[in-house]
A and B are shown apart, each in its own frame.
Chain A
Amino acid sequence: MNAPSSRTAVRSASVAFLLLIAIWHSGFAATLLWDSEGLASFGDVLAGFGSPDFSGSFLSRIKTLAIESFLIGVLGTALALLVASFLAIAAAEIPGLEDDPAHSPSRVFTRHLLRVCARGILTFFRSIPEIIWAYLFVRIFGLGPGPAVFAIGITFGGIIGKLFAELIEAADPAPARHLRATGAGSVAVFVYGVLPLVRRQWVAYTIFRLECAIRSASILGVVGAGGLGQEIDLSMRYFQYDKLATALLAVFAYVVVLEIAGIYLRKIRPAWPVACLVFASILALFHLDIPWHELTSAESLKQAKAFLSGFAHPTTTWPFIKNALHLVLLTVSMAWVATIIAAVLAFVLAPMAATTFTVRGYLVDAPRGRGWFQWAFLLVLVPLRLTLQVTRALPELVWALLFIVWVGPGVTAGILALTVHTFGILGRLYSDVFEEAEPAPARTLEASGAGPLARYLCGVLPQVMPRMLAFTLFRFEVNVRAAAMLGFVGAGGLGDALHTAISLFHMNDLAALLLVSLAVIVIIDSIGDWLRMRLIRG
């Protein structure tokens, strides 16, 4: 609708072109979806839902595992909070006086070095998906909830730490400067000058991440790290679809309960969720068998040394690096294809799921007219909302396992899994954006007799487009990491190579793979940050 529509056209064309390139590069074969054998085996999975295993012993095992998952998520977040706070304080530039005579050049340098290191560690921690950490820790600490807790602690520590550091730097520097000027030490400056300013945001963000961590904990068992994921992996591997159905229903219920609890927790005073976090962490501390002593045992230190020494001598033979680059690009292609397809689907379907466009309308208490057909929208609305809910609730890893049954292992299964999950997420994000949109333009259009389509395209879309694009872009970045982890269950891409390297103890290969993917992730993130900044500023 904008006047210089040639620019829009060029942009759409380049996105479409990149999509085609990525489809070609990844070898995405949607036709596998119509493969009769695949359909038959997927039919078997669905048949499992016809007679889920509701035997008492299995249900009680599922219950135990669900509780374990929950506790893993909580304790993992508590650990992440510790990691994040320390690293964030080290990584953030705490405001000080300009040209403080108390700062000798060497001290400034040390401080700067510390900051750079802490930032590096944060990036490293959060760039590697938790499932990779989990598998690595399974190798070091053995099976059970411990590796999952450590994995969440590290990945989420990196994620939370980054935001904590950003919040510190965004805070008003005046109080810290005042304190510095009175001669307060670093601790005092932080505790009285910085913490009070960021505390509220820190708590809010931690609660948000807590929800993500608990969700993530439900699937880490796929690599043997405790929780519900174990049962999904086993029942899938041995084609016990009745058990699989029960396990999937359990994950679904788990996520839905979590979501409802999350909505509630965000409404009440933040002190209560914090109280719950503390309580549940302590409970988890005793309930879960976490090998804390292993963290400092000679054997673990040896393993940690082996892991780190891989980074001292990463495999640098050209064929290997070439292959690694190929795999990383493949992973990026997977994420790109999935994100774009999901975004297009969500773009078309999300407005249909929003009642304001279809049923409710923007006018307050306006005459709707009589006739049965206004209810016909419900026929679309209800199934659509249900689909969005289900696709969002089951993690991409679970979708990957299901699509492996359907289309066989490989890139296609991975792309489909990412697409389906991303569709659910974006559908939700888009409808949130629609609801936040200024209603006046759409109201104007409705008052002048415009239909739902015109209301969407002319009234709402122009205002929210930048934010929708920003969300989509962000999701693409998330999907790059997710695509790397799908390989762990056989859905193609980088994850498969990472899995091989870890399972065969090829630490030099692992280091090389991680370094290459780290580089690519950092590049993509910076491009994404830049683009999003431009989008939002419009």
Chain B
Amino acid sequence: MLAPKLVLSGVSRRWGSREALRDVNLSIEPGERIALIGPSGSGKTTLLRLLMATLKTSSGSIAVDGRAIGQMTPREIRNHRLRCALVDQGAQILPKLSVHANVIAGSVATWPWWRTLASTVLQFDKEKVAALLDDVGLADRQWDRADELSGGQRQRVSIARALAGNAQLLLADEPTAALDPTTSADVIKLMGRVTKERNATLVISTHRVSQVLGEVDRLIGVRDGEIFFDQASDKTSDDELQALYEGSRERA
């Protein structure tokens, strides 16, 4: 499966009277590697949710491979969500379940109902999960409880889950905010590696630009709900970054 091509045209999102995103025009090609940067509250999370089709747009439209989300049937929306995977600070962990179950959860959505039912008593795909966990560096934790893992390990579980579901669009929402510098660098590298291996699109939202520069080739600066700049990562100057953060309403 190829990663989706996403086209946002004139997308806005309001929460009550507050505008989280305003008139965003954006195009994301399959296999692109993007970092979303910008101060807190600038609209990064909202943008990620819109991309995953877990939030409605207030106006404008998002097309996935040419098909607008607003026109999709519930089945199509589910299929789109299936191609996406989210890694965040660790809230994605399913509590009280094993690491194995947490990884399997990525592919549960593709199963027929009877297989889902059966999975409550039987364990499927043990080898596949083991391989994925090995890939993300959690080889020996398959049968531990996921909610007892550390922050970095939780992210790895999320990544493994994304891989299990064969996600073509890996979205990361400030994945390293709660991690120490070494761990966070490892996690970002891991995401970069696995997406590259699979030709998947990667969108990371973060404040820590320096950490992601090595893994992405496009930077999108978001400020006050608008695209502030959108260019190749090696062309972005420190001044631009400075301006992105300093001119924000939040700071003012």
Contact = CB atoms under 8 A, between A and B. Distances in A.
Contacts of A458: 94, 97, 101, 105, 108, 116
B181 interface: no
B109 A454 contact: yes
A448 interface: yes
A459 B96 CA distance: 10
Interface string A368-386: 1111011000000000000
Interface in A451-481: 451, 453-454, 457-459, 462-463, 465
B95 interface: yes
Contacts of B79: 449
Interface stretch (B64-72, B200-208, B220-228, B234-242): B64-72
Contact of B121 (A3, A5, A369, A538): A5
Interface stretch (A122-130, A236-244, A400-408, A437-445): A437-445
Nearest to A465: B96
A445 B74 contact: no
A446 interface: yes
Interface in B28-81: 52-56, 69-81
Contacts of B161: 448
B95 A450 contact: no
B1 interface: no
B101 A365 contact: no
A303 to B, nearest CB: 56
Interface string B85-118: 1100001111111101100111011110100110
Contact of A5 (B56, B105, B108, B123): B123
Given A448-B105, A449-B82, A370 B117 contact: no
Given A369-B73, A449-B82, A363 B54 contact: yes
B27 interface: no
B91 A440 contact: yes
A: contact size bracket:
35 or more
Nearest to A370: B73
Contact of A1 (B52, B70, B110, B119): B119
Given A2-B101, A441-B94, A458-B94, A447 B52 contact: yes
A12 B120 CA distance: 12
B84 interface: yes
A1 B74 contact: no
A367 interface: yes
A448 B95 contact: no
Given A366-B53, A458-B108, A451 B78 contact: yes
A369 B76 contact: yes
Interface in A316-373: 363-371, 373
Contacts of A441: 93-95
B151 interface: no
A444 B161 CA distance: 11
Given A447-B54, A448-B109, A448-B165, A2 B70 contact: no
A500 interface: no
A365 B78 contact: no
Interface in A400-447: 438, 440-441, 444-447
Given A367-B72, A458-B101, A451 B121 contact: no
Contacts of B119: 1, 457
A9 interface: yes
Interface string A1-22: 1111100110010000000000
Contact of B108 (A8, A440, A450, A462): A450
Nearest to A366: B54
Given A445-B109, A458-B101, A369 B72 contact: yes
Contact of A367 (B56, B75, B121): B56
B113 A365 contact: no
B122 interface: yes
B116 A453 contact: yes
Given A2-B101, A449-B82, A363 B74 contact: no
A448 B117 contact: no
A449 B97 contact: no
Contact of A462 (B95, B106, B117, B143): B95
Contact of B74 (A365, A371, A440, A447): A371
A370 B105 contact: no
B119 to A, nearest CB: 6
A445 B91 CA distance: 12
B113 A369 contact: no
A448 B82 contact: yes
Contacts of A5: 121-123
A169 B252 CA distance: 55
Nearest to A452: B113
Contact of B98 (A3, A374, A451): A3
A447 B45 CA distance: 14
A459 B91 CA distance: 12
Contacts of B167: 448
Given A3-B98, A3-B142, A365-B55, 8 more contacts: A2-B101, A3-B100, A441-B93, A444-B94, A445-B105, A449-B79, A450-B78, A463-B96
15 contacts: A2-B98, A5-B122, A366-B53, A367-B69, A370-B73, A441-B93, A444-B92, A445-B108, A446-B81, A447-B54, A449-B82, A451-B78, A451-B116, A453-B117, A465-B96
Top 9 nearest A-B pairs (CB, nearest first) are A369-B74, A449-B81, A449-B82, A3-B143, A450-B109, A462-B96, A449-B109, A1-B101, A454-B108
